[in-house]
Amino acid sequence: MNSSALIHALLDGVLTGSVYALMATGLTLIFGVMNIINIAQGILVILGAYLSYTLSVHFGIDLFAGLVITIPTLFVVGIVVERFFMTKLKGPERTSMSILVTYAIALIIEGALNMIYSINDVQLKAWYVNQSFRVFGLWIPYIYMFGFFLAVALLGALYVMLYRTRFGASIRASLADQTAAALIGINVKRVSTICFGLGVAVTAAGGMVYGATNAFNASTSYDLISRLLTIIVLGGMGSLGGALLAAILMVTLGDVIAVVWSPIWSTPTYFFVLVIVLSLRPQGLVGKLSVREA
Amino acid sequence: MNRKGRNFRALGVTSVALASLAMMATSSGASSSTIAKGKPVTIGISLSLSGDFSGDGSAFKQGYELWRDTVNKTGGLLGHKVKLDIVSDASSPTQVVTNYQKLISLDHVNLTVGPFSSLLSLPAARAVARYGYAMVEGAGGAPSVFQAGLTNLFDVSMPVKDALVPFATWIASLPANKRPKSVAYVTTNDAFTEPQIPVAKKIISAAGVKTAYYSVFPAETTDYTPIADAVAAVKAQVVVLGSVDVPTVSAFMQAFEQAHYSPEAFIATGGPDQGTAFSSVVGIKNADGMMVPNAWYGSATTPGSAAMVAAYIKKYGGTAATVSADVAEAYSVGQVIDQAVTATKGFDNAKIIKYLHSGVTLSSVQGPVKFDKLGENNQATAFTFQWQGKNFVEVNPTSNKAAKPILFPKPVWGK
């Protein structure tokens, strides 16, 4: 193992981790505001990837330009899912019931995608998908760099919305205490609906980058959701910063272990770290106990 | 009713239920060796129609259905039309057991044939063995499958440990000035891929070719970049990749291209054999020169192969080069079942098992089939195939008259 391999692994981890952060952010946002564990997030990522595929193959629209269409489309999908399914979930069993309901939604979407696109793998194509540029002797793939910039831009926009706008203040108030937020006049239902839409909308971007860096079919969603769930558990459920930190930590740790030790130990090491962190901080790296107890 | 009375009643109900289940397992699970005239013979199959093996599972389904259509056109098995009872196992070794138990106990299928992959074939064969059923399968050739010592298991395809032998022998046979100097071996920790690598490495190393890299990665890996970068860093002239699916091969190819590393020869144990499902993902230019070991290809001249390919193209479209080898593996299973049923003049699983262990040589679109005591097909021949332009051709063993010259060195990515 040489130092350039280690630097390369660190760089890969940060670039790829940022894209996972984008996907996990939606999941943690939805949990934070609504106490809903959206098991369908994995298949929604894949739906985003398939939408990009359709626009690219059938309409010749560039993958990044296509986000102008796919992000609003998935926002609408999120609103519809929230209106038709999530609003029915009430009472103390809301969180556990949400797992079953969103799993059912995932199965429905998976079945539909298999019927439309078949179960053969596909991969998104563009000039920048397989090309790379050289910096200090390291080849950096354009798609990872563009994906990183996209993730930074979208996470930045989400940050500005949350911390610099009136609506963001409503979301944060709902995150902290829904009852108190309602008492001061915040329309928590409306905030929840829009948050669910936003949480799903970001998967369009994550799905596009994922689909450009991996061959996928609808079944790929199972691998994705298990990773996304461990990211938000490590970061702290409901914490946006935690999702970003945990995503980068998960991928970087795996990549570095693969280079310095063996790929076989990448996943066990991550889960070892997860267990240690949860033993010391049950609320995750950045999460708050009050959120987990909600 | 007092508590004691309720307990006795519950005990009684439980006992009756358990006794009924036991009777179902022994009586209704027993293989139906006679079928009323005019009734179909039902064959139970669990296939991976979702999950990690969904691509292969789907191709297997095509192969089984093609065989069913062919045999039904000629009157079926012993005059009974063949009906396939296919259930999905989502690529899960747990679900596959449940599926075969259901197929036998509840659906009362007459025969069972195998799922896709060694990972699933072994638990499936164990499950049906409890009911006395034979398990003829086409994709469970890992040594661990045969080491289980099951007497009801028969794999019609090539034992996987031999798959890379023609490729390794070819590398070793190259004149010293053309022989590569270094090889990188990287494989997923799968029962299908891992046993192939040491066999190839032993042959290649004996010819003086250096092992530049050797690594095993877990099947659940999703970010292959650091592993591929490590392979690229050693700049080995040959890459031997132990893969089971298209996404894994595609990920390595993409990472190699991004690292501006193009090996002179690149063989993957699974993925490139999946016809257009492979070439459409990686692109036809990048597919050029990619190699894969297997026992069958679309232009094979084995008896019945051309007819099967023609039937496939008529039903599903495409060309001979785009027919997945999985289709032939499943089709071969059907052919072996057909011959065993005909020879034993019935659907008695015990007789079928005895017949298949008798040392008889059977025919299939993949070539002759003869089972040893472990259920391995010791007549299967390993070939190496290569994508050359839009065609998927046989290139090895080079002694074979039908073999095309090997494209070596492989074209640089995208050229």
Check CB contact of B283 with chain A, cutoff 8 Å.
yes
Of the ranges A86-100, A269-283, B154-168, B252-266, which one carries the lowest mean pLDDT score? Answer: A86-100
Which 3-state string (H, E, C) describes B194-238?
A: CCHHHHHHHHHHHCCCEEEEEEEECCCCCCCHHHHHHHHHHCCCE
**Domains defined along chain A, listed by start:** 3-293 (1.10.3470)
Determine the distance in angstroms separating the CA of A13 from the nearest CA of chain B, rounded to an integer.
9
Which chain B residue has the Cα nearest residue A219? B51
* Residue A264 clears pLDDT 60, i.e. is over it: yes
The answer to whether the Cβ–Cβ distance between B218 and A263 falls below 8 Å is yes
Check CB contact of B280 with chain A, cutoff 8 Å.
yes
Among the listed residues B38, B123, B147, B66, the one whose alpha carbon sits nearest the alpha carbon of residue B332: B66
Could you tell me which residues come within 8 angstroms of residue B166 by beta carbon, excluding any fewer than 6 positions away? B293, B382, B383, B384, B396, B397
User: Least CB-CB distance to A141: which of B51, B258, B281?
Assistant: B258
Cβ-based contacts of A216 with chain B (< 8 Å): 247
Q: pLDDT per residue over B197-207, tens digit each? A: 999 999 999 99
The pLDDT of B185-204, averaged and rounded, is 92
Give me B290's structure tokens: 């990619």
H or E segment to which residue B184 belongs: strand B182-188
Tell me if domain B41-159+303-356 and domain B162-295+383-396 are identical in fold: yes
Contact A72/A213 with Cβ under 8 angstroms?
Answer: no
Q: Over chain A, what is the mean pLDDT?
A: 87
Which chain A residue has the Cα nearest residue B50? A219
Report pLDDT for B37.
84
User: Least CB-CB distance to A12: which of B225, B245, B413?
Assistant: B225
Contact A144/A10 with Cβ under 8 angstroms?
Answer: no
**Alpha-carbon dihedral sign for residues A259, A265, A269, A270:** positive
The pLDDT of A39-61, averaged and rounded, is 94
Residue with the two structure tokens 């996209």: A150
Give the whole-angstrom CA distance, residue A199 versus residue A189. 15
| Coil vs helix vs strand at A51 | helix
Query: Which of A11, A115, A219, A227 would best serve as a mutation to test chain B binding (most B beta carbons within 10 A)?
Result: A219
Q: How many CB pairs under 8 A join A and B?
A: 115
Residue type, A68: V
The pLDDT of B357-370, averaged and rounded, is 94
Cβ-based contacts of A130 with chain B (< 8 Å): 254, 257-258, 286, 413-414
Check CB contact of B221 with chain A, cutoff 8 Å.
yes
Give the whole-angstrom CA distance, residue B103 versus residue B412. 50
Cβ-based contacts of A218 with chain B (< 8 Å): 50
The answer to whether the Cβ–Cβ distance between B220 and A139 falls below 8 Å is no
The answer to whether the Cβ–Cβ distance between A216 and B247 falls below 8 Å is yes
Contact A193/A79 with Cβ under 8 angstroms?
Answer: yes
Q: pLDDT per residue over A12-36, tens digit each? A: 889 989 889 988 988 888 887 778 8
The answer to whether the Cβ–Cβ distance between B50 and A122 falls below 8 Å is no
The answer to whether the Cβ–Cβ distance between B260 and A132 falls below 8 Å is yes
* Residue B375 clears pLDDT 70, i.e. is over it: yes
Higher pLDDT, A72 or A4: A72
Which chain B residue has the Cα nearest residue A221? B51
Check CB contact of A264 with chain B, cutoff 8 Å.
yes
The domain segmentation of chain B, as residue ranges, is 41-159+303-356, 162-295+383-396
Check CB contact of A251 with chain B, cutoff 8 Å.
yes
The answer to whether the Cβ–Cβ distance between A266 and B221 falls below 8 Å is yes
Contact B386/B371 with Cβ under 8 angstroms?
Answer: no
Report pLDDT for B162.
87
User: Least CB-CB distance to A123: which of B54, B221, B250?
Assistant: B250
B371 DSSP β-pair partners? B377
- Determine the angle formed by the axes of helices A3-34 and A142-164, rounding to 10 degrees: 40
Question: Chain B 348-387, CB below 8 Å of chain A: which residues?
Answer: none
Which chain B residue has the Cα nearest residue A53? B281
Determine the distance in angstroms separating the CA of B258 from the nearest CA of chain A, rounded to an integer.
5
**CA separation (Å) from A20 to A49, A126, A244, B150?**
14, 21, 8, 44
Which chain B residue has the Cα nearest residue A131? B258
Q: pLDDT per residue over B126-160, tens digit each? A: 999 999 999 999 998 888 899 888 999 999 998 88
Among the listed residues B258, B68, B50, the one whose alpha carbon sits nearest the alpha carbon of residue A120: B50
Report pLDDT for A238.
76
Q: Over chain B, what is the mean pLDDT?
A: 88
Report pLDDT for B391.
85
Per DSSP, A215 falls in state -
| Coil vs helix vs strand at A30 | helix
Q: pLDDT per residue over B269-317, tens digit each? A: 999 988 888 898 999 999 999 999 988 888 788 889 999 999 999 999 8
Give the whole-angstrom CA distance, residue A254 versus residue B200. 29
Among the listed residues A150, A186, A125, A126, the one whose alpha carbon sits nearest the alpha carbon of residue A67: A150
Give the whole-angstrom CA distance, residue B51 versus residue A232. 24
Residue type, A198: L
Check CB contact of B49 with chain A, cutoff 8 Å.
yes
Of the ranges A28-32, A171-175, A227-231, A277-281, which one carries the lowest mean pLDDT score? Answer: A171-175
Determine the distance in angstroms separating the CA of A130 from the nearest CA of chain B, rounded to an integer.
6
**% of chain B exceeding 90 in pLDDT:** 64
Q: For domain B41-159+303-356, give the CATH number.
A: 3.40.50.2300
Among the listed residues A167, A203, A205, A209, the one whose alpha carbon sits nearest the alpha carbon of residue A188: A167
Fold category of B162-295+383-396 in CATH? Rossmann fold (3.40.50)
Q: pLDDT per residue over A207-254, tens digit each? A: 999 999 999 999 888 888 988 999 988 988 878 888 889 999 999 998
Which chain B residue has the Cα nearest residue A110? B50
**% of chain A exceeding 90 in pLDDT:** 35
Report pLDDT for B397.
82
| Coil vs helix vs strand at B291 | strand
The answer to whether the Cβ–Cβ distance between B414 and A130 falls below 8 Å is yes
Check CB contact of B4 with chain A, cutoff 8 Å.
no
* DSSP string covering A216-284: B-TTHHHHHHHHHHHHHHHH-TT-HHHHHHHHHHHHHHHHHHHHHT-GGGHHHHHHHHHHHHHHH-TT-
Query: Which of B223, B244, B273, B327 would best serve as a mutation to test chain A binding (most A beta carbons within 10 A)?
Result: B223
Check CB contact of B234 with chain A, cutoff 8 Å.
no
Give me B300's structure tokens: 């094979």
Q: pLDDT per residue over B3-57, tens digit each? A: 444 444 554 555 545 444 444 444 444 455 678 888 999 999 999 988 778 888 9
* DSSP string covering B86-106: EEE-TT-HHHHHHHHHHHHHT
Q: pLDDT per residue over B67-105, tens digit each? A: 999 999 999 999 999 999 999 998 889 999 999 999 999
User: Least CB-CB distance to A5: which of B223, B229, B257?
Assistant: B229
* Residue A67 clears pLDDT 90, i.e. is over it: yes
Q: Euclidean distance between the first and final Cα of chain B, in Å?
A: 84
Among the listed residues A169, A264, A239, the one whose alpha carbon sits nearest the alpha carbon of residue B186: A264
